[in-house]
């Protein structure tokens, strides 16, 4: 049995990324052998939401194509600095990125709900104070 390792890498931007990888115990297999990666001998998880330009965490895909079984080619874009990157990723990396994007979408929807409620409360308050300050009464009609 091998074991999982976590390696921290500091990007040129100063951002730190964590890479989780699986080290086979026999130590014979070359790290660059893709067949071994697919066989689960190595697990390399890249955090796709991290920008290679500014180190932000809001990178999103602009294109998403399955190039072969369990391998996706993603075109990525950072909305903060317009950094762009195209690369091919394994299923577990893409699935993890999908989770990150879904979480971010959930947070956005929650924020939108909150802002919408606030705006409605404000509108109701404005309407109420307009009624009060204008002194509109039923017997005025």
User: Which residues are near Zn ion by CB under 5 A?
Assistant: 51, 53-54, 56, 78, 80-81, 83
Residue among 60 and 71 whose Cβ is closer to Zn ion: 60
CA distances from 30 to 27, 37, 41, 92 (A): 8, 10, 10, 20
Q: Report the nearest approach of Zn ion to the CB of residue 48 (Å).
A: 13
C-beta of 49 vs 93, nearer to Zn ion: 49
- Least separation in angstroms between residue 101's CB and Zn ion is 16
Question: 128 CB contacts (<8 Å, ≥6 apart)?
Answer: none
Please report how close the Cβ of residue 54 comes to Zn ion at its closest, in angstroms.
3
> CA-to-CA distance for 110 and 107, rounded, in angstroms?
5
Closer of 42 and 97 to Zn ion (Cβ):
97
Q: Which residues make Cβ contacts (< 8 Å) with residue 20, sequence separation at least 6?
A: 4, 5, 6, 7, 43, 44, 45
SS3 119: helix
* Shortest distance (Å) from residue 55 CB to Zn ion: 7
- Closest CB to Zn ion among residues 2, 53: 53
Mapping DSSP to helix (H, G, I), strand (E, B) and coil, where does residue 66 land? strand
């Amino acid at each position: 049995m091998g074991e999982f390792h976590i390696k921290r890498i500091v990007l040129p931007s100063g951002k730190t990324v964590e890479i989780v990888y699986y080290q086979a115990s026999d130590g014979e297999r070359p790290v660059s052998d893709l067949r071994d990666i697919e066989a689960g001998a190595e697990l390399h998880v890249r955090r796709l939401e991290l920008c290679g330009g500014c180190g932000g965490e809001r990178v999103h895909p602009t294109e998403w194509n399955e190039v072969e079984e369990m391998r996706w080619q993603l075109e990525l874009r950072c909305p903060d600095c317009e950094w762009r990157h195209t690369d091919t990723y394994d299923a577990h990396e893409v699935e993890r990125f999908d989770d990150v994007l879904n979480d971010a979408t959930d947070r956005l929807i929650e924020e939108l709900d909150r802002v919408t409620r606030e705006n409605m409360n404000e509108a109701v308050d404005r309407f109420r104070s307009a009624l009060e300050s204008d002194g509109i009464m039923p017997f005025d009609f």
